[in-house]
Each structure stands twice: as structure tokens, then as C-alpha cells.
Structure 1
């Protein structure tokens, strides 16, 4: 999938380049319509990384909607200089599949693309934790069902999954379990594959008991 950054910046931020060396940057979505390979972009699917500063939620919603209308198979991730809850909800409501800080590390950007590529959503850690806390209070599974899911995992995968289901970040899980971030990421990837979870929120809902 091609990566296109929509930004008023004249050049890509270093982490953007490091994560996606072959990506492009445009100042306006209309410029993409005239892109030489626009038809191919639509056929292959494209990730549009929409960079915003402090634009109003209504403007953000319109931008996301316009991108999706012009490129139906596209995925939109909003990169905000100052992430906030209102902006995140506006972006997701309009059809974006991710919301993150504009200066996220290259490793995180790559992880975001992996998650959304598998059909998941990517949210900021603080908002994700709030959603998990709220959702798990409203929705619960029978203990036997949760036990059957956990039985499919190794002992370490179970430990990681249960901590992630609380809303903890990879670094926080690593600290709690006294393992490395890389180990947490590997166990989490294996857990997603075994249980068919698309993202951290879905995993939390799957493992929540009544």
C-alpha cells in the first residue's frame, strides 16, 4: 500500500521518512487526484496520513470524508500536532482508522500501518484506555468463554494479553512483567493471530468477563 502524507509542511518529518522511505507528501488532497498514478493508488489501496495542527473538528471531519469519497479503498490516519479527544472522535466518526501524534516514532508509525492493515483501529493510549474502561463496564462475556480464549495462549501470552486488556501500553506491560518491549510486542502479535483480534480494544472486549 502506498503512503501519502497530506500536510502543509514542505518536507516530510524525519520519522515519516524513516518509516516509509517511498512515501509522498502533498499539500492538498486535490493534488492527489492529479497524481500520475492515481488510478493505481485506488486499485492498490492507499494510506493517507492526514497531518493537522489545531483545525476545528468540523474541518477535520470534512477532510477525512473527502479523502474517502475520492479514494474508496483508502485508509486515513490522522496525525495531530496536539492530539485531543474531540479531534479523535471527529476523525473516527468521519471514517478514519487511526489517530496519533504527528511526531510519533518511525516504529510506531509502522505498527499503526500493520494494525490498520489487518482491519484494526489505532487510538492514542489515553483515549484507548478510557474506551476500554467504559466498554468493559457495559459489555461482558461468560467466564467460560474467556477461559476458552485464554486456553489457546501460552502462559506468557496470557499474562501479556490480560495486562493489555486493562489498557496498559507495551512499555507498561513490559515494566509489570519485567520483560522487554520487543517481547511484549511479539507475544501480542501472536495473541492477535491466535484469537483473531484486530486491535487492543477488541482484545480487551474479548477478554472482559461479566
Structure 2
């Protein structure tokens, strides 16, 4: 996938460069859109990282929708200087599939791209935890269904899945289970594959009992 940062900054910040050395930065998607059309590039192979400072939810929604209108099938991830719940939900409603802090470390940006590349949704940890708490109060599965899913996992994968489904971060899961973050990531990847979950929110909803 090609990475394009849409920002008023004159240069990419170091985290962006470290994560995606071959990425580009543009102030307006229109110019890049014209270049893509000229070369018959596939918009579905593009990730637009929309950098925003302070703007109203309506303005943010418009900017996301504008990118998707010009570059259909592209993926949009919003990078906010001051993340907040209202902007996050506004961006997602407009079609964005990710929302994170603009100065997220390179490793996290790479992880975001991996998740959305597999069809998942990415939210910041605080917002994800609130969404999981709200969603699991509204939606629940029969215990026998949840037990059947957990039976597909190894004992350690089960432990990791249950903690992640509570909204815990990888670091928090590692601390609770007394294992390394790398081990958590490995088990979580296996859990996603075995259960067919695209992201942490979907996993939480799958494992939520009535």
C-alpha cells in the first residue's frame, strides 16, 4: 500500500518517516489524486493519513468524505494532535477506518496499517475501551457460543483473548498475565486468525456473554 500524509506541515514528522520511508506528504489530496488518475493507479492500494490539529467534528467529517469522494476505495486514517471522542466518531461515521494520535510512535503506525490492511478498525486505546464498554452492554452472545469460540484456542491464547476483550492494551495484558508484550502480540495474532476477528472491538463483541 502507498502511504500519503495529508497535512499542512511542510515535512513529515520523524515518526511518519520511520514508519513509512517511501511515503509522501501533500497539503491537498486533489493534486495527488490527479497524478494517480494519470498513471491509472489503484486507489484501493492507498492509505491517506489525514493530519488534523483543531477542527470541529463537522469539518473533520467533511475532510474525510472529501478524500473518499476523490479517491474511492482508498483507506483513511485520521491522525489528530488532540484526539477526542467526538472527533473520532465523526471521522468514523464519514468513512475513516482509523483514528490515532498524530505523534504515535512508528511501531504503532505500522501496527495500525496491519490492522486496517486486514479489514479491521483502529481506535486509540482510551476510545476503544469506552466503545467496548458501551457495545458490550448492548450486545451479548449465548454462553454456549462464547464457550465454543474459546474452545478453539489454546489455554494461553484464551487468557490473552479474555483480557483483550475487556479493553486492555497489550502492555496491560502482559502485566496481568506476567508475560512479554511480544508474547501477547503473538497470541493475539493467533486468536484473530483462529476466530476470524478483524480487530479488538470485534473480538470483544464475539466473546461478550449475555
The answer to whether TM tops 0.5 is yes
Aligned to 1:204: 204
Structure 1 residues 167 and 75: CA distance shift in structure 2, 3 A: same
CA distance in 2, matches of 1:122, 1:40: 29
In 2, distance between residues paired with 1:58 and 1:42?
28
Counterpart-to-counterpart distance in 2, 1:126 and 1:43: 31
Shift of 1:202: 0.3
**Residue 104 of structure 2 corresponds to which residue in structure 1?**
104
- Measure how far apart 1:35 and its partner are: 2.4
Unaligned stretches of 5+ in structure 1? none
In structure 2, how many angstroms separate the alpha carbons of the residues matched to 1:107 and 1:54? 25
| Structure 2 residue 170 is matched with structure 1 residue 170 | yes
Structure 2, unpaired ranges of 5+: none
Shift of 1:70: 1.1
Within 5 A, what are the aligned runs for 1:190-201? 190-201=190-201
Question: How far off is 1:40 after superposition?
Answer: 4.1
CA contact (8 A) 1:32 1:38 kept: no
Mark the CA change 1:138 to 1:38 in structure 2 (over 3 Å): closer, same or farther. Answer: farther
For 2:38 and 2:106, locate their aligned partners in 1 and report how far apart those are by CA, in whole Å: 26
Change in 2 beyond 3 A, CA 1:145/1:36 = closer
RMSD over aligned Cα, in angstroms?
A: 1.2
**1:133-172 correspondence runs (5 A):** 133-172=133-172
2:67 aligns to what SS in structure 1? Answer: helix
**Secondary structure of 1:136 counterpart:** helix
Aligned residues: 210
- 32-41 vs 198-207, which deviates more? 32-41
1:97: Cα distance to partner?
A: 0.1
